[in-house]
Amino acid sequence: MSKFSKPVLGIESSCDETGVAVYQPGRGLLAHALYSQVKLHADYGGVVPELASRDHVRKLLPLVRETLDRAGLGMRDLGGVAYTAGPGLVGALLVGASAARAMAWALDLPAIGVHHMEGHLLAPLLEPDPPQPPFVALLVSGGHSMLVAVRGIGDYEVLGDTLDDAAGEAFDKTAKLMGLPYPGGPALAAEALKGDPGAFHFSRPMTDRPGLDFSFSGLKTQVLLAWNKSDRSEQTRADVASGFEQAIVETLAIKCRRALEATGMSRLVIAGGVGANRRLRAQLAEAGEREGFSVHFPRLEFCTDNGAMIALAGAIRLAAGQEQGPQIRVQPRWSLETLEPVPTA
C-alpha cells in the first residue's frame, strides 16, 4: 500500500482546543477526539495563552493514543502526520508542531503543516455530499471573518476580510458586556432564542456601501449603549441579544450574496465556529432556496476547531506530494493566499 493512501494523523492545537483525528484517503474519517479548555479559561473570561500551551502539553499525547485506539490502529500503521502550523497562538502551535514532527521523525513519515483556516474551509468535504470547487467560502470563527473565492484546493482569493473585530469576537465581547458567562458566543446565541429580534434594531455594518469587508466593533458599541440605557431585565437582555444576533447574521448573509454575484459562483460554503449558529444556517439556507445557490455546512462538531479538518487537509496535500522538511516551524500570522495550489486529480 502506498504511504499516501495510508491513514494520516491530524493534530490541531492553535488555540484552546486539542484535537486529534485519523483520516484515510478512500475510507474517510476513521476516528477523532477533542478536548476543550473552556473550564480552564472561564475564570479569566478569555484564553490565557500560556495556560493553553501547558494544557496542550498535558492532553495531546493521551488524545493521540485514544484516537488511534478508536481507529484500531498503531503508530506503525500511519502514512503521514499533519498539524496546524498557523495562524494561532505561537506557544500552542509549537506544542502540536513539536509533537507531530517528533512522531514523523521517529517513524520516518512525511509531515506537513496545515493552514488552520484552510482546514476550516475544507471541513465540509468530510460530509457525505461534499461541495466541489469553485465556490465562495465564508470563514467565520473567533478571530476571523472572511470571504474567499475557492477555485481549487490551495487556489484562494480573499474577497473580503474583517477590519477590526471578527464576528466571533463581537459575539464574545458583547456577551461579556451584558454579563453572560464565558464562552460568550454560545451563551449569547442561547439567550437570543428567548428574545424578540425586532425589539432593538442595530445597524448592518458596511452594507450601505460597495465592498466585501467586515467591521463589527461599531455594532458592539451600539449594543453597549442600548444595554446601558435599558432596564437590564432578563427579557431585555434576551431582546438585545436577539437584535444583535440578527444584525450579525443579516450582515454576513448580505455579504455572501454579494460575493456570489461578484464571482459568478453558485455554491456557498460556511465554516468556522460561528457557522454553528442556528439563525445563520437557517437564513442562508432559505436564501439559497430562494435565489438559486447551494449552501454547504460542516456538521456542528466540525464547525469549531478539530483534528478531523487538519487530518483531511494534510492527507490531500501529502497525496499531492507536498511534504516539508524536519524543521519545526509555525506561523502565527499566515495568509491563505500564499498557499501552494494542489493539482487537480
Binding site feature residues for Fe cation: 116, 120, 305
In degrees and rounded to multiples of 5, residue 161 shows phi and psi of -140, 170
d(CA 27, CA 31): 11
Does the N-terminal peptide bond of residue 186 adopt cis geometry, omega within 30 degrees of 0? Answer: no
- The radius of gyration of the chain's CA atoms, rounded to the nearest angstrom, is 20
CA–CA gap between residue 225 and residue 227 (Å, rounded)? 5
In whole angstroms, how far apart are CA 249 and each of 182, 202, 283, 314? 21, 12, 8, 31
Give the β-pairing of 294-296 and 145-152.
unpaired
Binding residues for substrate: 139-143, 172, 185, 277
What span, in angstroms and rounded, lies between the C-alpha atoms of 74 and 103?
Answer: 12
Grid coordinates standing for 87?
Answer: 495562524
Binding residues, by number, are 116, 120, 139-143, 172, 185, 277, 305
Q: How far apart are CA 343 and CA 320, in angstroms?
A: 7
Q: Residue 42 is placed in which grid cell?
A: 472561564
- Angle CA 276–14–156, to nearest 5: 70
Contact 148, 139 (CB under 8 A): yes
Asked if residues 243 and 200 have their Cβ atoms less than 8 Å apart, the reply is yes
Q: What is the DSSP letter of 332?
A: S
DSSP, collapsed to helix, strand or coil, labels residue 41 as helix
Which among 164, 128, 160 has a CA at the least distance from the CA of 146? 160
Q: Measure the CA–CA gap between 3 and 79, rounded to whole angstroms.
A: 5
Nearest to 236 by CA among 192, 181, 170, 302: 192
Using alpha carbons only, give the angle 164, 145, 285 rounded to the nearest 5 degrees. 140
